[in-house]
Structure 1
Amino acid sequence: MQKGKQNAKITKIEQQVSCPVCKKQVPYSRINAHVDIHMHRSSLKSGLADSAGSRNDKTSITDILSGSQPPMKRRKPDSSQSVIKLDDDGEEEQDEGQSLATTGAISLVKIEDSDVQKPKDKVRVDNNDTNSLRYLQRISSLPLSEKLRPKTLQDYVGQQHILSSTTGTLYKYIQLDQIPSMILWGPPGVGKTSLARLLTKSVDGKYLMIETSATKSNTQELKAVFEKAKAEYRLTKRRVILFIDEIHRFNKPQQDLLLPHVENGDIVLIGATTENPSFQLNNALISRCHVFVLEKLSSSELGLVLNRAIALLNKLRTFIWHCSRPLKLAKDAIEYIEDVCIGDTRRALNLLEMVEISSRRSKKGDDEDFTLSTEEVRNIIKNNSSNGLNSYYDPKGDNHYDTISAFHKSVRGSDENAALYYLGRMLKGGEDPLYIARRMIRIASEDIGIRDNTMLPLAIAAHDAVMKVGLPEADMALVQCCVSLARAPKSVEIYRAWNKLKSMLDENKYSMCSSEIPMHIRNAPTKLMEDIGYSKGYKYNPDYKDGKVAQMYFPQEILDQCEDKTTLKFLTGKHLGSKMDPDLELQDK
């Protein structure tokens, strides 16, 4: 009889894999269900009690994933307790004190269908649970910045000036379940797109979000969105949020197309831009939207994001990529990444991902300390970046104008070190060196002027050097000119005189633009002009002693209208002003 039962068994070959939690060999077709049971068991509030009645075992898979507690040996559960049996083939479970990162060899063995018992209870696993193996498998191929994208406003890092529960303007709207049309303006990597998505999720399904980018949308697509928004509101009473990334890339007709639909409430517009809206967007569109300025993340905020990323990477290294060692960075190495990223979260995560991938190929032994130092992180980043580490600098954005303004003002203030700093920052960021050279030509005339007439030829020579030699060889010509301009004595006499004259000409004050040129200083190239009186009575100055003559050069009409003749003295002989800075006096004391 026993032999007949054995003949009735169906024998087949199935691949066996090692469970990353219990180390047991499990058929390949059942590994997901087997691990899901582990995950479900870890969420149970009551632990497994041993047969002697000792305390419950508090170690869960969540603790193991987060690294907060070391794995402990599992005790056999008491038969009287209601627990999920992880070892569903009746054999004793293996010791779980082994490293979870160790991978078992894949083998082919014979198994029999009658020996395979299916679990009695089906366990539902949330695939969005960050501790779920299926969730880790799903995100393993995404970029790190996408892996770590926040799912709730509580996970969002930064921008407390608008999200604070006490003073945040945007937080007040969220409390009322309302989202206004807005422009999110800030540098790259501060969370503009993430914030827009989280705002939609935070208002309990009252809004439907449609994402697009100004780099690929056209007028026809926008019109289709407007029609969809109207239909959506008629059917479900949900308003449509139109999120447009890089909205500054829209031309004027495309921006005008948004106006009536934003004003009528057909859509809620959320635009994200790295450019100054005052220069890139229509005033009519700006007036219909709130403008929220998003700031770069501080070092502490960026450190929080990096620590979260390291924890997630270590989960992936253990359960998905099967690396034998966790990723560890020294504190100063993390601070180094924070410094070079200047508040750009995306760039910080990209650099961390580069470090993580490079660390897998490390030649250090398993027994050696695997904590990466600052020097190792610096070498990894430099070896994988052709241009090295460049600070964030947008040659066409606000940073461009702000930095050149700071450079000009530092030269004007004779702070040669600050001027050199801003020059280096611009060149390192990829600024056009000819643009800098042209600005130094302007500085030579505007801020130094006649006080040192050698500075203008020097600035022109620096411009020529950049044109003829180019970077990087021409950088020293720019440095020489920069320092010379900063050290030169300053004078704004001709600058102020010229501005005063231009202002009077613009207003045609004293008929300056319409008055007749005096006859005696007019040109007389023909005999007819001489007969009319052109150039008659003109005194040729070189014919007189010291070139001095009693001769009027201003038009008589101006002299008649101007009662105070000192008004016509544009050049006062004063190089600088006469004010005293009270802060300077306090500093001297």
Structure 2
Amino acid sequence: MSTTSSLVSCPICDKLVPEWYVSDHMDRECKGASSSQDRAAPNASKSPPPPPSSAGNKRTMFMASPSSRQKSGTPSIMFPSIKKARPSFDSNSEPSAVTSPAPLAQQRSHSGLSETADSVKRIQNTKLPLAERLRPLTLDSFVGQSELVGPGGILRILIESDRMSSCIFWGGPGLGKTTLARIIAHRTSAAFKEMSAVTQNTVDVKKAIEEAGNLNRLINKRTIVFLDEIHRFNKAQQDIFLPYLERGQIVLIGATTENPSFKLNSALLSRCRVFRLEALSEKDIASIAVRAAQLKQQDLGLEVLGLDDTIAKYISSISNGDARVAINVVDLAMNSLQAGANLDLDCVRRALQRTHVTYGEDEHYDLISALHKSVRGSDDNAALYWLGRMLQGGDDPMYVARRLVRMASEDIGLADNSALPLAMATLQACQAIGMPECDTILAHCVVYLARAPKSVESYKAFKNVKAFVAAENPWPVPMHIRNAPTRMMQRMGYGDGYKYNPDYEEPVEQEYLPEAIRSHSFFDKPE
């Protein structure tokens, strides 16, 4: 029975050859960059020798149909940077004389566009979103994160020296995670594969890793895999990277808006360096907004003036450190201008009207922590603010109400025994009427708890109990306070000597703790 083999593109000369013959082709006859004639008619030149055969498994020569040639001639989406890194050739030398790989800057220029020309072309493409057109391609044009990519920054050193190791970019939206990855793609001599956990799955990842291994074996070229929104892969799916990171088959760069400590498994984190990207300063946001306005004015055929300082400062103050928000506000505001009108604050405010606020899982826990600590600190003003932030962010009012029940017992406790019933009534009321009407009920309870006197006596005492129980032996219950529901248990001495307190007018002296810990007080500070 005979089998066939598909055509693949040689990673050096781009010539189509049978898959089984790639290695021999590169060793014996690869002549560097192939001509368009070679690619158009792969069988017109000298045919490769027939594949090895054996008595048990004969393989026939591959005869490529026009459709298969067309399919195989399509560049692989896995390694778009292979052509960029193709070795340079001297046009005056023999075609078969392969020169040594060109320097990194030359390799990038072989893509047909230099970084500067590529950036200009992208900026002029008005079909792209404004934020995409303004995305920088070099570290010098990157705004923000000066500790990482500024002079002497560790990330800048790794990128410029082309020695990137596996890492995670962690930060909110619009801080430059994807931009940094694409800068690395332009600077590195490695193959670069950009993927997203939103649209791709572990099957796609396995294919990318397999191709990376093939490229490494064939031409000793490493591969960087960039996985955006890596937290969308669950912890079991993340395990797919571990063996390949362990043996260096790929370099992984992940980007996430969620806390890696919660969303990534510990085995993956131990193999990656986490870089935290901070919110951009108002000065950085203002400079980005000015650049966006200048480009938009150019698109609209207006005089390129940038932004008034007052407008730029306003946009930067409400963008929450997110460059994309600032760019989108400028874009929408200027698109809504009537002919001959100038951009003013009212126009910007209309463009900024929000139907939601950015609210990630990290911020959820940060805000409830801020609310709890404000109540504990008796700051009713701050507590109301954090409550408003949570409700505006779309947090579940029932979750907030349950946390208030906890605060009523943990922080107010014995100092005001009416706090707990009020918190429980708040929980029931929120369950009964829901949002938006229950926001006032929550505010009522928050202010009451913040102003109430505080006592953590019972809370701390029970913490001491839990610690003591975990560390000590499980002491048996004293016989005199054990229950004796049967005659056999009574004969065994259960309940002997117990004094029933209501039968005595005077205070009853009776021990309730095991003899070994009788003198221990859980209301005292632990030693």
1:330-349 matched pairs, under 5 angstroms = 330-349=308-327
Residue aligning to 2:462: 498
Find the residue that maps to 2:358 and give its secondary structure: coil
String of CA shifts for 1:473-529, please: whole Å, max 9, x gaps: 11111111111111111111111110111111111x2x3x2x332232222333443
Q: 1:252 to 1:379 in 2, by over 3 A?
A: closer
**Greater displacement, 335-344 / 455-464:** 335-344
1:404-483 matched pairs, under 5 angstroms = 404-483=368-447
Query: Structure 1 CA distance, aligned partners of 2:269 and 2:244?
Result: 14
Query: Structure 2 CA distance, aligned partners of 1:244 and 1:153?
Result: 20
Q: Does 1:189 align with 2:148?
A: no
> Equivalent of 1:239, from 218, 222, 232?
222
Q: Does 1:278 align with 2:261?
A: yes
Tell me how far 1:346 sits from its aligned partner. 1.5
> Equivalent of 2:139, from 145, 148, 153?
153
How many pairs does the alignment contain? 415
Q: 1:262 to 1:135 in 2, by over 3 A?
A: closer
Q: Does 1:307 align with 2:273?
A: no
Q: Does 1:262 align with 2:245?
A: yes
Would the aligned equivalents of 1:340 and 1:391 in 2 still touch at CA under 8 Å? no
Q: Return 5+ residue gaps in structure 1 as ranges.
A: 1-123, 319-323, 560-564, 578-589
Tell me how far 1:455 sits from its aligned partner. 0.6
Q: Does 1:534 align with 2:527?
A: no
Residue aligning to 1:249: 232
Query: Structure 1 CA distance, aligned partners of 2:290 and 2:145?
Result: 19
Q: Which amino acid aligns with 1:569?
A: S
Query: Structure 2 CA distance, aligned partners of 1:267 and 1:182?
Result: 12
Tell me how far 1:286 sits from its aligned partner. 1.1
Would the aligned equivalents of 1:193 and 1:245 in 2 still touch at CA under 8 Å? yes
Query: Structure 2 CA distance, aligned partners of 1:188 and 1:371?
Result: 30
Q: Which amino acid aligns with 1:170?
A: L
Residue aligning to 1:523: 483
Would the aligned equivalents of 2:413 and 2:454 in 1 still touch at CA under 8 Å? yes
Tell me how far 1:275 sits from its aligned partner. 1.0
Tell me how far 1:330 sits from its aligned partner. 3.8
> RMSD over aligned Cα, in angstroms?
2.5
Would the aligned equivalents of 1:327 and 1:371 in 2 still touch at CA under 8 Å? no
String of CA shifts for 1:83-133, please: whole Å, max 9, x gaps: xxxxxxxxxxxxxxxxxxxxxxxxxxxxxxxxxxxxxxxxx999975897x
Query: Structure 2 CA distance, aligned partners of 1:329 and 1:457?
Result: 55
Would the aligned equivalents of 1:128 and 1:135 in 2 still touch at CA under 8 Å? no
Q: 1:557 to 1:200 in 2, by over 3 A?
A: same
Would the aligned equivalents of 2:333 and 2:343 in 1 still touch at CA under 8 Å? no
Which of structures 1 and 2 has the bigger CA Rg?
Answer: 1
Q: Which amino acid aligns with 1:343?
A: G
Residue aligning to 2:511: 552
Q: Does 1:176 align with 2:164?
A: no
Q: Which amino acid aligns with 2:269?
A: I
1:49-68 matched pairs, under 5 angstroms = none
Q: 1:127 to 1:416 in 2, by over 3 A?
A: closer
1:25-424 matched pairs, under 5 angstroms = 129=117, 139-166=125-152, 168-203=153-188, 206-318=189-301, 329-359=307-337, 362=338, 366=340, 370-382=341-353, 385=354, 387=355, 390-394=356-360, 397-424=361-388
Tell me how far 1:328 sits from its aligned partner. 6.6
Q: Which amino acid aligns with 2:504?
A: Y
Query: Structure 2 CA distance, aligned partners of 1:400 and 1:310?
Result: 33
Q: 1:127 to 1:272 in 2, by over 3 A?
A: closer
Tell me how far 1:272 sits from its aligned partner. 0.3
Query: Structure 2 CA distance, aligned partners of 1:140 and 1:494?
Result: 65
Tell me how far 1:192 sits from its aligned partner. 0.4
Would the aligned equivalents of 1:183 and 1:273 in 2 still touch at CA under 8 Å? yes
Would the aligned equivalents of 2:333 and 2:347 in 1 still touch at CA under 8 Å? no
Would the aligned equivalents of 1:136 and 1:316 in 2 still touch at CA under 8 Å? no
Tell me how far 1:305 sits from its aligned partner. 0.9
Give TM-score scaled by structure 1 length.
0.66
Q: 1:213 to 1:296 in 2, by over 3 A?
A: same
Find the residue that maps to 2:352 and give its secondary structure: helix
String of CA shifts for 1:419-451, please: whole Å, max 9, x gaps: 111111111111111111111111111111111
